[in-house]
Amino acid sequence: MKGHQVTIKDIAKELHISPSTVSRALKDHPDINPQTKKNVQDLAKKMNYKPNKVALSLLQQESKIIGVIIPEIIHHFFSTVISGIEKVANDAGYHIIICQSNESYLKEVENVQALLSSNIDGFIISMAKTTTRFDHFKDIEEVGVPVVFFDRPCEEIKADRVIVEDYIGAYNATMHLIENKCKNIVHLAGPQNLAIGIDRRNGFINALKEKRYPIHDYTIQYCDSFNHAQKLVPELLHVHPEIDGIFAVNDETAAGSMIAIKKLNKNIPADIAISGFTNSFISFMTDPELTTVDQKGYEMGMSAAQLLVNRMQSVEDFDPVTKVLQTELIIRKSSVR
Amino acid sequence: MKGHQVTIKDIAKELHISPSTVSRALKDHPDINPQTKKNVQDLAKKMNYKPNKVALSLLQQESKIIGVIIPEIIHHFFSTVISGIEKVANDAGYHIIICQSNESYLKEVENVQALLSSNIDGFIISMAKTTTRFDHFKDIEEVGVPVVFFDRPCEEIKADRVIVEDYIGAYNATMHLIENKCKNIVHLAGPQNLAIGIDRRNGFINALKEKRYPIHDYTIQYCDSFNHAQKLVPELLHVHPEIDGIFAVNDETAAGSMIAIKKLNKNIPADIAISGFTNSFISFMTDPELTTVDQKGYEMGMSAAQLLVNRMQSVEDFDPVTKVLQTELIIRKSSVR
DNA sequence: AGTGTTGTTTCAAACGTTTGCAACAAATCG
DNA sequence: CGATTTGTTGCAAACGTTTGAAACAACACT
């Protein structure tokens, strides 16, 4: 079925010279007779020769490929990050190979192993929600392939990372809701084994504490998806109609809440003010448009790739770097009253 | 910087046996002494040995990798397709490597070349909007690597493809608008060098013709992005306030239109009814929720991967297959009055 | 003793490429 | 004329793995 890629050997045979001469001729090596060079180069073009990257990778122990492992590509945030990674990686002569963990620990391990045995030059990783053991990352460390974590770093591994000011972002969003006269705000929080979950929750809580707002047993709800929010929010509002503000851990959850709230014929922002987190595409599709915290996906991708490129191209072993990006509160109509 | 992956040679040296014995021992070959086998397997586990896929790929001329080239990963439709591809590909023992063309012909060519020289076992491709020359696809054909096109096939290449009933989908959506008493519908159309652009446009036009609706010079507008729609729709409505229906080539464009229309204080669907195409995530984020044509992204990905796997695993050369998926009109509030 | 069988291991080639070194011819020098 | 230099090419090893064939020892059978 599969045909035959033209190789250096084919060219050599055709011209009755050795493969080494062909190789050198193609690289314009000064040792080669100009006429031979021309013959080789012409024939190579004519036969549509393409150097075999696999052979090169085996020989030179580098593949010019970066492995990217993310939870789910369908989330706009992650695809934005990938665009940022690709920009910087391509400019530096690298290609990327993207794997999804689908938020599954097992799939994440499998991906790491597969990439490790493919001579990948470096990793860019954002951990799955369900990952609580880290042997697979230790394996990477052991082999000595550089890793950069973004957004959801693994705390147990000494590696470069790019994160955003989650705490401050959450704090600012909460303060903004308070300034807009919310008296009873709940937080739809992310998983607490991830730093982003913890930090956003803490930013929220500390803003409330600073303003001496009471924290009830229902103030924190663990809910971080569109569907879950659609289900949970009506139940919550039924029991606690006094709620007048929601800070959601991400935009999907905020959007799910908005739809549920509008179905209850409550007005946003008049009855309930809402803020999300991420500033993804959907934050200006909703009606009213969603106040949110810009998570700088594209910059994050670029920074991660830049850190990795630096790491891959440097000889000595320098200490891990953590790059913290500033968030930005994007105020739209869902919270202003 | 980069350390050393454990190889078969390392194990061989350690146990004072030859690499071939190690190789066979690891594969449980019957020729090998059980004791030797155990020694090898134990040591391999202890040393955390992982077979080098690059060496295997070079030797066996197959990589178990599928190259996927899509226009833009940030579009929900494409990430949905990728999820479908990954599901089927992984189940069949393949990994995927994803490249974006960013709708650029040059980047598409570059991606094809890069993947071709990486011993990719097969391609899954959706063409860039700007691609009008097809030599790079011819190159793939020449080498004999199987290709499956999806959504935006290349008409010049004999290859498997998965598409949806674009014509019928567009026809049905238009009929639906007509049934909902639209008298003057415009179509925000996609590029006419892609079949999807042509087919959706034709489905729209033929529905109008069938109902003897007049087709004005402004009835077809070439506009297929969120931003462009936000800019174009107000201008259009200013000149032609009689417009009372919009059929957009995709959901992003429909969403952009909706936002623009609401800014003009017109009501959707009462003043203007709207249908999109794709049934992406955003179609139920908008307010009112968006009527659309389900483009079956996940199924499309699964079908494409399945066709490719069949092609890769079959020995003989059978004729290209075109799989046509049925669309489904999803009626939501943006069009019902 | 010679032949055959069985069990176990190693050798060598192959995949496509690069590269230090050796090889050889021709030209130049003293 | 012999020695050295210069220009050009080829050899062989290397990257990590697999695999047909060869090698070898131990043993059984005639």
Q: What is the pLDDT of residue B3?
A: 62
* pLDDT at B1 (0 to 100): 47
Q: Max alpha carbon distance in chain B (Å)?
A: 87
A196: closest CA among A236, A248, A147, A246?
A248
Q: What is the mean pLDDT of residues A122-131?
A: 96
CA distances from B3 to A19, A65, A117, A144, B52 (A): 31, 17, 13, 5, 14
B334 Cβ contact list (under 8 Å, min separation 6): B254, B258, B268, B269, B273, B274, B275, B286, B288, B289, B290, B291
End-to-end CA distance of chain A: 67
- Rounded Cα distance between B36 and B50, Å, is 19
Best CA proximity match to A200, nearest among A299, A293, A333, A76: A293
The pLDDT tens digits for B133-180 are: 999 999 999 899 999 999 999 999 999 999 999 999 999 999 999 999
Distance of CA A270 to the CA centre of its chain: 35
Q: In a 10 Å sphere around its CB, with 0-12 CB exposed, 13-18 middle and 19+ buried, how is residue A181 labelled?
A: exposed
Cβ distance B82 to A73 less than 8 Å, yes or no, reads: yes
Q: Is the pLDDT of residue A1 over 60?
A: no
- pLDDT below 70 — which residues of chain B? 1-3
Q: How many CB atoms lie within 10 A of CB B331?
A: 14
Query: Which residue matches tokens 């045995």?
Result: A117
Contact B132, B109 (CB under 8 A): no
Rg (CA), chain B: 26
Phi and psi (nearest 5°) for B163?
-135, 170
Backbone angles phi, psi at B8, to 5 degrees: -60, -35
Confidence of residue A3 (pLDDT cuts 50, 70, 90): low
Q: Considering CB atoms only, which of B95, B117, B145 is closest to A52?
A: B117
pLDDT at A224 over 90: yes
Q: List bases, strand C, within 7 Å of protein CB.
A: 7-12, 14-20
Measured between CA atoms, how close is B116 to chain A, in angstroms?
A: 8
Q: Please report residues of B whose CB lies closer than 8 A to that of A255.
A: 285
Residue of A nearest to B280 (CA): A74
Task: For residue B328, give the H/E element and its range.
Answer: strand B328-330
C-alpha to C-alpha distance for A281 and A252, rounded to whole angstroms: 10
Mean pLDDT of A134-141: 95
Provide the shortest C-alpha distance from residue B100 to chain A (in Å): 9
Count other Cβ atoms within 10 Å, centred on residue B139: 16
Does pLDDT of A156 surpass 50? yes
Q: Distance from residue A16 (CA) to nucleotide C25 (C1'), in Å?
A: 18
Residue A12: helix, strand or coil by DSSP? helix
Helices (H), A49-94: 53-60, 76-91
**Distance C10 C1' – A333 CA (angstroms):** 77
The arithmetic mean of pLDDT across residues A267-289, rounded, is 95
Q: Which B residues between 55 and 114 have a beta carbon under 7 A from any strand D atom? A: 55-56, 58-60
Supply the pLDDT for residue B305.
98
d(CA A58, CA B188): 50
**In the predicted structure, residue A330 carries a pLDDT above the cut 50:** yes
Cβ B281–A284 below 8 Å, yes or no? no
- As a three-state string, the secondary structure of B261-318 is HHHCCCCCCCCCEEECCECCHHHHCCCCCCEEEECCHHHHHHHHHHHHHHHHHCCCCC
